[in-house]
Chains A and B, each alone.
Chain A
Amino acid sequence: MAMTDWTIIRRSMTSRLFSTVTTVITVAIAVGLMLTLLSMRDSGRRAFERGSGNMHMLISNDSSPLVSVLNGIFYANAPARAITPARFAEIANSFPAEYAIPTQLGDRYMGLPVLATTREFFTKFSPNPDFKPGSAELGWKLAEGRIFEAPFEVVVGARAAREANVGIGDQLALTHGTGKEAHVHRDFLYKVVGILEPTGASHDRALFTDLTSSWIIHAYDRRKETNPDAGKPTEADLTDADKLITGIYARIATRPDMNISAMIPAQLAKLRADGNITVASPSTEIQSLFRIVGNIDQILIAMAAAVMVASSISIMLALYNSMEQRRRQIAVLRVLGCSRPRVFGLVVTESAIIGMLGGLAGFALAFIGTRVVAAVLKEKLGLVVEPIFDPRITFLVLVASLGLAALAGLIPAAVAYRTSVARNLRPTD
């Protein structure tokens, strides 16, 4: 087989195997980091958008739409202000609603949020944005048991069940508030009747019960404050003052085959005209949230780019240092008829190949890395992130790593180009 430029390049790389491998690893780490960050940024955004599911609006009394979304969908904190039943009815009747599901947050179980709501939460709302109410597909799925049917029954999200180690038939006492002010509703026990399948949304780490039982235990608390001997109220004893909610998951009526409606902007504007409520468009708020954190991921991506540049410098140093040992080889090649530009090309090509190998290894690293990060996010945050590599961005990153490596080869190539043949052919001993 004839000798080619590739033979010379390959032999040069394998003769300095340790240096070549460590340089390729350095590039691979840089490219892997960059691709992981880019992939997780997009996948993470999709995962957050999944939390709002198929609702169009989240209505609350929170201080801002963003706070409303963080509290109402991502369970950041219990909302401070409530909505009365009369106000709920007024709001629900003020727009062509496909659903308006009342929700109440405030209680927790072992630190996990408890959302009190109605059965509509499971039949009409779904964390999947493509779910159409009434459809048999894309809705909630139960791993075990059933949805609550009576007061003091609870359905547990997949991750919450695992974290709290609860199963069907377990009896739970919920906690109200946090810190020193927290107290356990010891007089009321909830029975676990269902465990949900994972959805990949924030709801996986919540427990769900019916509103009536939540109203009863809070009404009991309030009555005990004024009368320590007060008995447990029943549903019939509840007044409008007891029937408070903290949020409304709402969806505007759409055509059967549509998921959005042209009426949404107008309805949002109409509802927002009422200054006493906060009307959030979850998708808009999530986008604005990502605009805020976008600066951080730009910094991270800039840092990854800096690491890529640093890895190119490591290629340059490795090749530059090897030039001292390769001067004689270059001089011999020149004597045999290899031109200066060809010597220059050999070194730049070697550098680019190191960049390309590093890029491909980096892609493999990113493939593994994103899955590790996704597993950690699922484990720690209950957020199901499906890493996807945008082919266009992946290609650009790989081309960038190859281009940077080729650039890094320019200085060693210039050294090779200028190698004095006469001086380097002299006997050394």
Chain B
Amino acid sequence: MGDKTPSLEIHELKFKYPGSAPGAHWVVDVSALVLMPGEQALLTGASGRGKSTLLQIIAGLIEPNHGNVRIQGKDIHALGGAKRDLYRGSQIGMIFQNFNLLRGFSARENVLAALMFSDVPRKEHDARALELLQIVGIPTPERDVAELSIGQMQRVAVARAVATNPALVLADEPTASLDPENAGAAMDLIQSTCQKVGAALLCTSHDPSMADRFNRRESLDQLVTA
């Protein structure tokens, strides 16, 4: 963890959807944002302000109109198709509000799916998946995720997000589907797991109660370019 390369560097990032009117506001407008390895930050902003879109740009799923995003020093948008996908798979973990687990697959297989596209040696996959599921507290790794409780699904999503030892975990409104009690437990898990694996965490939320959990808080309104 002595690496000084930031896990995430955003520079002059701007994005608007194709077909937008010429004078329309940028959906995403971030002048600079840096997250060092292991650092955890909360990104706040009103609904529709572009938090999810920013995370998808960071993950290389959407092309920005301007600026760049570096993950572990590498400009993710400069990477072509399959290389970018593989880089995302090994360097970025994503947690969603609705978990986005693979239905019809077991908890173990959901974690294995993340490892499948990583550079983790294949023979280590199974042991690692079971270890992570144990860490997040899933006692029945072979159960279909559809049979798990909401809280358990969130745990599987967390295990999947950190399975490849990513440099960065992006959590998009991870507690929006949960009641306050479960939300607290889920955030505890996400933050502690990221800490354990040394991943930087960028978490979006419009829930004001989340602010106390993070030493670093960034508002999208304050990140706007001059």
Contact = CB atoms under 8 A, between A and B. Distances in A.
A140 B127 CA distance: 73
B59 interface: yes
Given A328-B100, A339-B81, A341-B81, A3 B89 contact: no
B86 A337 contact: yes
Contacts of B33: none
Contacts of B123: 2
Contact of A337 (B88, B112, B126): B88
Interface stretch (B101-109, B148-156, B181-189): B101-109
A15 interface: yes
Contacts of A336: 89, 113-114, 116-117, 160
B105 A335 contact: no
A82 interface: no
Contact of A339 (B86, B94, B97, B176): B86
Of A15, A336, A341, A426, the most chain B CB neighbours within 10 A belong to: A336
Interface residues of A, number: 29
Contacts of A328: 100
A331 B94 CA distance: 12
B109 A7 contact: yes
B16 interface: no
Contact of B125 (A3, A331, A339, A422): A3
B1 interface: no
A337 B56 contact: no
B61 A335 contact: yes
A421 B63 CA distance: 12
Contacts, number: 86
B97 A335 contact: no
B112 A2 contact: yes
B100 A332 contact: yes
Given A2-B126, A3-B113, A338 B85 contact: yes
A163 B126 CA distance: 69
The majority secondary structure among interface residues of chain B is: helix
B102 A332 contact: yes
B82 A339 contact: yes
Given A328-B100, A339-B81, A334 B61 contact: yes
B115 interface: yes
A425 interface: yes
Interface in B52-83: 52-53, 56, 59, 61-62, 81-82
Interface string B103-137: 11100010011111110001101100000000000
A11 interface: yes
Interface in A321-339: 328-329, 331-339
A342 interface: yes
Contact of B96 (A2, A15, A425): A425
B115 A2 contact: yes
B205 interface: no
Interface in A38-65: none
A99 B79 CA distance: 86
Interface in A293-340: 328-329, 331-340
Interface string A1-29: 11110011001000100000000000000
A227 interface: no
A37 to B, nearest CB: 39
B175 interface: no
B6 to A, nearest CB: 21
A159 to B, nearest CB: 57
A332 B97 CA distance: 13
B95 to A, nearest CB: 11
A427 interface: yes
A3 B116 contact: yes
A422 B122 contact: no
Contacts of A339: 81-82, 85-86
Of B53, B81, B116, the most chain A CB neighbours within 10 A belong to: B116
A338 B82 CA distance: 8
Contacts of A15: 104
A11 B81 contact: no
Given A3-B116, A329-B102, A340 B61 contact: no
B98 interface: yes
Contact of B118 (A337, A340, A426): A337
Contacts of B116: 2-4, 336-338
Interface of A: 1-4, 7-8, 11, 15, 328-329, 331-342, 421-422, 425-429
9 contacts: A2-B126, A3-B113, A3-B115, A332-B102, A334-B85, A335-B100, A336-B89, A340-B81, A427-B177
Closest 4 CB pairs of A and B: A337-B89, A337-B117, A339-B82, A3-B112
